[in-house]
């Protein structure tokens, strides 16, 4: 049986901890617990009266986190999805929290473990599920989706210029044989992309990203997830979100902008009457990115962007 340590190098660690503005007796959520890289630093700043809630849909991540944080008694571990954060807090009978962190990246363990089928470098069975208990897998996507739907997913989620050609060749290939492994899919993709376009990273990178996003439903609920997270914050609480590609970043940025709101009253009115109240403020107009040193030490941090929102309820604009 494959033995790979669940490891996750926390991206923008110091920046996240500083941005959360941690109160020793506060309640904080790590909505993407992973290997507890960020959480181990959050819990260090909490007193015994503080509380850390760790959420993850990967059972291996939860096992690793429990072991790493075993000396702490003020941690609640939740097997679930950060998209359901409101329901999770309701079940815990907690109304509001002081801070929430979402690291939307795939962990090093998930990429490196052959059995998970995320990597386009290693040959393995097509899977790509973050939650191994869900039914939909990458194998299902590439073998049952229509050519039109595949092309749309690959173009939208992968921003792949040759999406139609890749989708067409996937459908042609599976007429004779089911696509079962990552290597089979990589070979189809490589044959679909002209030589002049293969100089910008691995040719399968964008398609694998797209299929992974589809399998794990990473984009569609993200806007609502961000808005729900903001609503779950106490006044003055902060939401920190790390994204790794433009689709995620755009969804977060749009949600933050809508949460800030905009007064629609005429400029000559002495006070606001439109009731378009703001939920808070965006702390950093430009996203925080990894330093050159961090990128050198952890190449996966290169595309990371951190956006911070602080909840501030005011009756006036």
Architecture of domain 13-104+219-311: 3-Layer(aba) Sandwich (3.40)
pLDDT of residue 300: 86
Residue 6: partners with Cβ closer than 8 Å, 6 or more residues away: 34, 35, 60, 61, 63, 64, 107, 109
Mean pLDDT of the 129-148 span: 96
Report the percent of the chain where pLDDT is more than 90. 79
First to last CA, the chain: 59
Who wins on pLDDT, 187 or 278? Answer: 187
CATH 1.10.150.170 fits 129-216, yes or no: yes
DSSP E strands in 31-138: the ranges are: 51-56, 75-79, 97-103
Q: Is the pLDDT of residue 23 over 50?
A: yes
> Using one digit for the tens of pLDDT, what is the confidence trace for 192-207?
999 877 777 889 999 9
For residue 123, give the 3-state DSSP assignment: coil
pTM of the shown model: 0.88
Provide the β-strand partners of residue 181. Answer: 125
Q: State CA 14 to chain mean position distance.
A: 19
Mean pLDDT of the 1-9 span: 55
Who wins on pLDDT, 197 or 35? Answer: 35
Instruction: Enumerate the domain spans of the chain.
Output: 13-104+219-311, 129-216
> Using one digit for the tens of pLDDT, what is the confidence trace for 56-93?
999 999 999 999 999 999 999 999 999 999 999 999 99
State how far the Cα of 290 lies from the Cα of 222, in Å rounded to an integer.
23
Who wins on pLDDT, 198 or 123? Answer: 123
Q: Is the pLDDT of residue 111 over 80?
A: no
Say if residues 225 and 29 touch (Cβ distance below 8 Å): no
Q: Is the pLDDT of residue 286 over 70?
A: yes
pLDDT of residue 1: 41
Range from 34-48, 191-205, 249-263 that averages highest in pLDDT: 34-48
């Amino acid at each position: 049986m494959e033995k790979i340590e669940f490891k996750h190098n926390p991206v923008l660690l110091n920046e996240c901890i500083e941005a959360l503005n941690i109160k020793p007796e506060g309640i904080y959520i790590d909505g993407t617990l992973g290997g507890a890289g960020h959480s181990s630093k959050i819990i260090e700043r909490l007193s015994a009266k503080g509380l850390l809630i760790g959420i993850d849909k990967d059972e291996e991540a939860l096992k690793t986190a429990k072991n790493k944080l075993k000396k702490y008694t003020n941690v609640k571990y939740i097997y679930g999805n950060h998209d359901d954060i409101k329901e999770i807090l309701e079940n815990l009978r907690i109304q509001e929290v002081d801070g929430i962190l979402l690291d939307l990246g795939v962990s090093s363990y998930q990429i490196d473990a052959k059995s998970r089928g995320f990597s386009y470098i290693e040959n393995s069975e097509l899977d790509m599920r973050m939650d191994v208990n869900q039914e939909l897998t990458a194998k299902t996507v590439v073998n049952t989706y229509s050519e039109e739907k595949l092309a749309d997913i690959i173009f939208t989620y992968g921003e792949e210029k040759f999406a139609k050609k890749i989708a067409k060749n996937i459908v042609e290939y599976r007429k004779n044989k089911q696509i079962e492994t990552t290597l089979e899919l990589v070979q189809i993709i490589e044959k679909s992309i002209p030589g002049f376009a293969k100089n910008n990273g691995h040719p399968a990178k964008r398609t694998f990203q797209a299929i992974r996003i589809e399998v794990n439903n990473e984009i569609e609920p993200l806007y609502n997830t961000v808005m729900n997270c903001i609503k779950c914050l106490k006044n003055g609480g902060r939401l920190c979100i790390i994204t790794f590609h433009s689709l995620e970043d755009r969804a977060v940025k749009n949600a933050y902008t809508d949460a800030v709101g905009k007064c629609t009253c005429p400029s000559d009115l002495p006070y606001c009457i439109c009731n378009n109240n703001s939920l808070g403020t965006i702390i950093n107009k430009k996203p925080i990115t990894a330093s050159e040193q961090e990128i050198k030490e952890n190449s996966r941090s290169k595309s990371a962007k951190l956006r911070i929102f602080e909840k501030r309820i005011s009756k006036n604009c």
